[in-house]
Each structure stands twice: as structure tokens, then as C-alpha cells.
């Protein structure tokens, strides 16, 4: 495999004047910047609609796209909004995403655009192609809107069990058409962006969380594949066991899967999900890969994850089935967290590249699996992920013993900083693919961090790149860096 490099940055973090990154001009300019700088991959976070806390990892749908990413300028060019309406979508504060302002503003704009939309032949063709999910999603969203955004477990019984859907759809056809319109616009713009990226030699890497939100269209439409009782309440929920970083573990709260029932169906729901991803991305990162071997099961209602236990996941039969159904699907295993020999055996038995995070390499000793000299070729090395501090922030706050070990190991050359040595170590490693968050190439401090795990605050998921950051000088510097380590 040709050695390659990429950049991790979410769509929301793109610069621009509309309050949040979109699939429009700035996304295309970023692709052009990547290609010019010698990169061959752009990795994004999940692009599904956000759930509580505005996290893209807690979505209300595994199939829908986030309507906030729809480009307002494309709506104007299509004659669906006026110039004044387009101007009203602009924001003076472009440094961070303010979801509480953006969501109602963008919804109002999209509603205006829908009121003038007339190409129902194209919309119908789109809905036919996406018929396995779009109808349920439109119904789910229109019901939630009508009922004030309540969780589906509190829907009236005839809508909770979907027996009343035919009558609902007849009465609320226009409401459902709006949500279908949103998705039509999102996927039309996404398809154009992907074609452009591929034409420039840039592949798109997506991110698939293993779990879905309890209050999601996925669970409402397919409750039988999740561990729910007759009252549609989970028997158990997801999480992580206690470790050195958290004495109480992590309680995520997602419903777990009935893997035996999924296996009986030939994993059809997962095949549909990953097939959908394959139409959007060139490669898919499987979040929390270790749960496919065994997952931490926590009783529903527990206050923390301490009382959980391990349950077996679907293992290799799952990946054999997926590979048979989708032989061209390219996957990356997010093999982080509590790892065992069984997890490594599953990853290697499926010949999946795992992840090596350089920020994890220097907190122990020479046996640390994240030290670059231990990398196989079939892996992806990251300086850090969306859940880590920026590299600069990490180095500014790391304990002295870690920094001393890093200096001894990396041996910065004269004039080379420890920051530079970290990037060099990743790019010069044997890993087939090297990726760094855009914040690291910009040498940004902790304030540019994307997310701090196990926290809900007004900082997470909000960072945006500023206008002018993608300079010609930076592009030339990054091209020379990629060329030096044979990643072009």
C-alpha cells in the first residue's frame, strides 16, 4: 500500500460566514488545499443529526445527514431563498459554533427554501433510492415536532408502536416532505463534494459510532434488534469499565444490541447501515471496535458503570458477513480503550488497520504499544483524535516525566521543537496512513480542542478554523513535509 497522509477535521469546523461549516465553498476550498498540500485523505466525524449535548456521536439517526451542513449559498443559487434571506444567515461571531442560535436560524431558512421548492420528481427519485430509511425518518421527525420534541417512548401508543403511521402520514404528508427535502438537499450537496474530492485525489474517511441513541429513529423503527423489554425500556446500556482515568467507568447510556437476533437476520440492519456509509465515504472508521469482540453491559438505571460486566459481541462472523455483502468496503478499527488479546485477534483476523495515538505513547515505558517503533504497516497513526487535547495543549500540560521520556525517545534535532518531533515521529513511522487534526498543523492551544470525553459543556464540538488559516505558505510547508516522508 502506498504511504499516505490525511487531516482530521469535522465539517462543522470549516471556516465561513454562516455560523457553522457547510458542504459549500469552504469545503471545496479545503479539499483543494489538502490536494495541493500533498494529503490524500480527509477524515470527518459522524455527519448525522446531533442529539443531546450537540454531540455527533449521539445522533437521532444513523442514516440521515445533519441539515446544519446544508450550504445556504446553494439554496440561493437554486432560487429557493432571496439575497436578503441569505445575508440574514451570516454571523459576525465565526470563531465557535453557537448551536442554540444556529439551529433555529437554519431551520427557519430551510423552511423558507422548502416553501419554494418544486422539483418533486427529483425528490421522489431520491426517496425511492433511500426508501429503506427515509420514510421512517420523516415520520419520526414530524411526530417529534408535532409533540414538542418529546422522546419516542412518550409518543401515543399508536405512534410508539407505529400502528397509526398510515393515518399519520396521510394527514402530515407536507410535514414529512419537509424532512425528506432536508435530506435531499444534504445528500445532493454531499455527493457533489465527494465527487470533487475524489477527482482531486482526496478520499473521504467517515466515522460510524457502534451505538445509537435510545431516543433515535433507529431504535423507534427497529426496536427488536435492541435489548429492550416489552415496555421498550432497555435491559442494559453501554459504557466502559472503571480504569486508571475513571474510578466509576463511563456510562454512555445507549441501548445494546440483540446480536443473536441480528445474526439470525444475516446482520441485515448493519449491512444496510454500512452500505449507506459506503455511498458516502471511501473508508469508514468503526468507533469502539472492541465492543464487536465483547462489550461492557451496565444495568439500565445504574448511576455509574461500576456494576457492569462483559458480554460477548458478534465477533468474526459479523465481519465475515459484512465482507461477503460489501467486499469493497474499507474499514479502520478504532481499537482504543480496554484491550485484550481477543480484541487484537479479531482485528488481525479481519485484517483491519488499527489506530495508534502518539499522545498515548509516553505515559509508561518502552513496552508501550503506541511507541512508533512498534507500529505495523497496517495501521493508522494519529497525533491525537477529536477526544484528545491539541498536540500543543497536550505538551503544555503533560507531566515532566512524560516529556522527559518523549525527548529521550524522539531526540529532537537542533532547532527542532518537541512539537515538531511528534509530527515527525508520526509521519516517519511505518504506518500506512498518518493523520493529524487540523488544529495540530496550525499549532493551536487547548482552546481549539474539539471534545473532552465525559463532559457536556459549551466548549465541546464548537471549534472552527478561522479565515486565512489555509495560507499558501502553510500549504507549501505541508507539501514539503509529506514529500520528505514519502507520503505523496
Active site amino acids: 287, 334, 387
Q: Note the maximum CA span of the chain.
A: 74
**CA–CA distance, 260 with 313 (Å, rounded to integer):** 9
Cell of 152: 419516542
The answer to whether the CB of 422 falls within 8 A of the CB of 347 is no
**DSSP element (H, E) containing 204:** strand 203-208
**CA–CA distance, 276 with 65 (Å, rounded to integer):** 11
Cell of 24: 459549500
**Vertex 378 angle, CA 374 and 379, to 5°:** 70
Q: How far is CA 356 from the centre of its chain?
A: 18
Cα dihedral 151, 304, 211, 438 in deg (nearest 10): 110
b/e per residue, 352-390, with b = 16+ CB within 10 A?
A: bbbbbbbbbbbeeeeeeebbbeebeebbbbbbbbbebbb
**DSSP element (H, E) containing 276:** helix 268-280
Taking the CA of residue 163 as centre, how many other CA atoms within 13 Å lie in the half-sphere pointing to its CB?
Answer: 4
Amino acid at each position: 500500500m502506498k504511504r499516505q497522509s490525511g487531516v482530521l477535521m469535522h465539517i462543522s469546523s470549516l471556516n465561513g460566514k454562516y455560523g457553522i461549516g457547510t458542504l459549500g465553498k469552504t469545503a471545496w476550498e479545503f479539499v483543494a488545499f489538502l490536494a495541493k498540500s500533498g494529503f490524500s485523505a480527509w477524515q470527518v466525524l459522524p455527519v448525522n443529526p446531533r442529539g443531546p449535548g450537540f454531540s455527533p456521536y449521539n445522533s437521532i439517526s444513523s442514516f440521515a445527514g445533519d441539515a446544519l451542513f446544508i450550504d445556504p449559498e446553494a439554496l440561493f443559487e437554486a432560487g429557493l431563498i432571496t439575497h436578503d434571506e441569505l445575508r440574514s444567515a451570516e454571523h459576525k461571531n465565526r470563531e465557535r459554533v453557537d448551536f442554540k442560535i444556529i439551529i433555529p436560524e437554519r431551520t427557519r431558512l430551510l423552511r423558507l427554501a422548502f416553501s419554494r421548492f418544486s422539483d418533486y420528481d427529483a425528490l421522489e427519485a431520491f426517496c425511492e433510492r433511500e426508501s429503506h430509511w427515509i420514510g421512517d425518518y420523516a415520520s419520526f421527525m414530524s411526530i417529534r415536532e408535532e409533540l414538542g420534541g418529546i422522546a419516542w417512548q412518550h409518543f401515543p401508543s399508536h405512534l410508539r408502536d407505529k400502528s397509526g403511521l398510515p393515518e399519520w402520514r396521510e394527514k402530515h404528508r407536507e410535514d414529512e416532505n419537509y424532512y425528506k427535502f432536508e435530506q435531499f438537499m444534504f445528500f445532493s450537496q454531499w455527493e457533489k463534494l465527494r465527487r470533487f474530492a475524489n477527482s482531486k485525489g482526496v478520499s473521504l474517511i467517515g466515522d460510524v459510532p457502534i451505538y445509537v441513541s435510545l431516543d433515535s429513529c433507529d431504535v423507534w423503527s427497529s426496536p427488536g434488534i435492541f435489548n429492550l423489554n416489552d415496555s421498550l425500556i432497555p435491559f442494559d446500556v453501554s459504557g466502559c469499565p472503571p480504569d486508571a482515568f475513571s474510578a466509576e467507568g463511563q456510562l454512555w447510556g445507549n441501548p445494546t444490541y440483540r446480536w443473536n437476533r441480528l445474526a439470525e437476520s444475516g446482520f441485515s440492519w448493519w449491512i444496510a447501515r454500512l452500505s449507506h456509509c459506503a455511498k458516502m465515504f471511501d473508508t469508514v472508521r468503526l468507533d469502539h471496535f472492541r465492543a464487536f469482540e465483547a462489550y461492557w453491559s451496565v444495568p439500565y438505571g445504574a448511576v455509574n458503570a461500576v456494576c457492569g460486566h462483559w458480554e460477548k459481541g458478534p465477533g468474526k462472523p459479523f465481519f465475515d458477513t459484512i465482507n461477503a455483502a460489501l467486499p469493497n468496503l474499507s474499514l479502520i478499527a478504532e481499537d482504543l480503550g480496554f484491550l485484550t488479546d481477543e480484541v487484537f485477534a479479531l482485528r488481525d483476523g479481519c485484517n483491519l488497520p488499527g489506530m495508534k495515538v502518539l499522545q498515548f505513547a509516553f505515559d509508561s515505558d518502552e513496552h508501550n504499544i503506541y511507541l512508533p517503533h512498534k507500529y505495523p504497516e497496517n495501521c493508522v497513526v494519529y497525533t491525537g483524535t477529536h477526544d484528545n487535547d491539541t498536540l500543543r495543549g497536550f505538551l503544555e500540560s503533560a507531566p515532566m516525566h512524560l516529556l522527559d521520556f518523549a525527548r529521550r525517545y524522539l531526540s529532537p534535532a537542533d532547532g527542532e521543537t518537541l512539537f515538531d518531533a511528534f509530527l515527525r515521529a508520526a509521519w516517519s513511522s511505518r504506518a500506512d496512513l498518518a493523520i493529524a487534526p487540523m488544529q495540530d498543523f496550525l499549532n493551536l492551544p487547548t482552546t481549539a480542542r474539539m471534545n473532552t470525553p465525559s463532559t457536556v459543556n459549551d466548549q465541546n464540538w464548537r471549534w472552527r478554523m478561522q479565515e486565512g488559516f489555509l495560507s499558501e505558505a502553510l500549504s507549501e510547508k505541508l507539501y514539503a513535509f509529506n514529500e520528505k516522508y514519502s507520503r505523496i
